């Protein structure tokens, strides 16, 4: 099964595509680290960021490579990330792709 991230073009994501990305991120956020097979996780230290891409393309490329920005491995250690503060990862992604808050969706 292909991830929604695989189908998105960072240069021209539409509102419906963004809604799908945000829904997938919300689903991934709920990942229970106790239920994850460590061998299925991406080793983030091996993920390369192409700094020649636009910001939107870098974000999409990163999501494609890491598969779950909330749960991955760092040097073999399984990590579950939670974001705190005013802006969620969803807000940051939408701001980067569209320059607006989630109220515009």
Give CA separation, 87 vs 40, 91, 102, in Å: 28, 6, 11
Instruction: Give the predicted TM-score (pTM) of the model.
Output: 0.70
What count of other Cβ atoms lies within 10 Å of the Cβ of residue 21?
Answer: 23
Q: Residue 76 pLDDT > 70, yes or no?
A: yes
pLDDT, tens digit, for every residue of 38-67? 999 999 999 998 889 888 788 888 888 999
Provide φ and ψ at 90, rounded to 5°: -60, -45
Cα–Cα distance, 84 to 82 (Å, whole number):
7
Cα–Cα distance, 87 to 12 (Å, whole number):
23
- The domain locations on the chain are 4-97
Q: Residue 88 pLDDT > 80, yes or no?
A: no
């Amino acid at each position: 099964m292909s991830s929604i991230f695989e189908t998105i073009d960072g240069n021209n994501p539409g509102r419906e595509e963004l809604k799908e990305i945000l829904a997938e991120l919300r689903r991934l956020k709920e990942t229970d680290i106790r239920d994850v097979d460590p061998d299925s996780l991406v080793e983030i230290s091996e993920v390369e960021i192409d700094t020649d891409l636009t910001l939107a393309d870098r974000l999409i490329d990163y999501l494609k490579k890491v598969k779950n920005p909330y749960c991955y491995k760092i040097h073999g250690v399984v990590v579950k990330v939670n974001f705190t503060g005013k802006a969620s990862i969803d807000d940051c992604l939408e701001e980067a792709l569209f320059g607006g808050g989630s109220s515009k969706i």
